[in-house]
Structure 1
């Protein structure tokens, strides 16, 4: 419409009642993403000490990471293996206490999980972000497959019942925020079509939020014309150096 269309290409549908809580509400699933965790070790990092860098992952980089995956996990997809790698490298870089709980929240599109399906054009959020949890020492010392299995398990938890349980939790607990302590959030927006949106001044270079504990994977073509995934990372300066070193070891 910004370029002259008189109507939207997809008719918007309201129908907020599709995702209302049940009556009575009942939390039937485990939702570690909303655990109440005290920041006793001061793990929440102020923005003024954070550094932002973006990292490109093309076929060569993804193949290098897959070398660390055992044969029984070879069926994992690119998002899963990349996420496991980044979560592990990021945890090593932050050097948390070995017993600290580290959370990885994977934003999952749940539109196709419902029967009947959420109608095309429904423009409310229909996503969950289940949390994988690990002690820092296990995440840092175990092979990549350990983190990968946790990522895959977390993704598989999102079902219609899971989403209804989230809606009920929102009512019972008064719309709590997700856990910040020891958390890292990832989302794949490479297929959203946001990069093709033209508001009158050309296609976007990046399409996704910018958050200190979140990475939104977007499509990118590097200077060599190679298509891949661009991932922005926020870390304190010294931790960023450790992150780059650990990542380079995996990509070598």
Structure 2
């Protein structure tokens, strides 16, 4: 496969257009949850997906198919066709105006095979495949979704999406994309109806902090910022893929009682340990690991923590654990693995309520 530096191609983009819901949708205002409108989520989330040509789709234009499916999906996901406004105390609210999402069609003079390694993250051709429409990237008063479909000469296509992260997390985005895919294949409605219900993740009144939240504590990790920003000349970006062989090799480094851990726990522990080793920190430096936990799989309690099927908002908390750099570097991988499991074990209904 070609290296990204060897790939040369051009992309011709048409003028952006607004795709609105196919049918009339409610004009109302909906508050986001207290997880959605956190300051740390007020950014645009880009995703780029590459598809090979399918002989069974010969004669069908992916741009037309996807555009029509998006318009139909927005009937069900109509808040995504609105615009964000701020209420009192900077509370984010969706004004469901039905103005639509941004849509761009484009053509690239290259095949998927010719792109080669250029499709691997960090994708060097992202700006061509996900055009940043001037003025569209703000959090307030802008389209909440931008979609670009780029046709390839081989019959394949590239689907790129930029989502206002306050509206949905990765699970919610997948749910929306699944709905588009189902409708594109002929379904009249998504198999999983979307649910708003953002009040389920509202802070308690009055708020009560009942758990320890290391994720909000200041630690020595903040002192690492100069290392990460000033040492860019000594850093490179590379993609690492953990397949079954690599996962098995890592698992062998764990004690028997930890080998049943999830792949996420295993790789997270490995990356945490390797990062700490690479930074060559002072042995007493306290390093924090934050693990995002999806509350969709929480244990149902009297307040109904487990989110209902179809909820597409941000539904995660990020408990953290701490360790001195020396302990991470000198101990076997199992030490970091145990701490990762400890972070995930904090997840509970009470922890979520305390977090909010």
TM range (shorter): 0.5 to 0.7
Q: Which has the larger radius of gyration?
A: 2
Q: Does residue 186 of structure 2 align to residue 13 of structure 1?
A: no
Q: Does residue 298 of structure 2 align to residue 113 of structure 1?
A: yes
Q: CA deviation at 1:46?
A: 1.6
Q: Look up the SS of the partner of 1:54 in the other structure.
A: coil
Whether the 8 Å CA contact 2:194–2:311 is kept in 1: the answer is yes
2-structure distance, mates of 1:52, 1:159: 36
2-structure distance, mates of 1:47, 1:20: 39
RMSD: 2.1
Instruction: Please list the CA deviations of residues 7-49 of structure 1 after superposition, one character each: whole Å capped at 9, or x if unmatched.
Output: 3524332222111111111101111111134745655522881
Instruction: Please list the CA deviations of residues 142-161 of structure 1 after superposition, one character each: whole Å capped at 9, or x if unmatched.
Output: 11111010001101111111
Give 1:53-202 correspondences, 5 Å limit: 53-113=238-298, 115=300, 116=304, 117-167=306-356
Tell me: CA distance 1:151–1:23, structure 2 relative to 1, closer, same or farther (3 Å). Answer: same
Tell me: CA distance 1:112–1:67, structure 2 relative to 1, closer, same or farther (3 Å). Answer: closer
1:4 to 68, 71, 84: 68
Instruction: Provide the aligned length of Structure 1 versus Structure 2.
Output: 167
2-structure distance, mates of 1:147, 1:104: 10
Q: Look up the SS of the partner of 1:104 in the other structure.
A: strand
1-structure distance, mates of 2:260, 2:333: 14
Instruction: Please list the CA deviations of residues 107-152 of structure 1 after superposition, one character each: whole Å capped at 9, or x if unmatched.
Output: 1111121533312222211101111210000000011111010001
1-structure distance, mates of 2:290, 2:225: 20
> What's the TM-score once normalised by structure 2's chain length?
0.44
Tell me: CA distance 1:44–1:128, structure 2 relative to 1, closer, same or farther (3 Å). Answer: farther
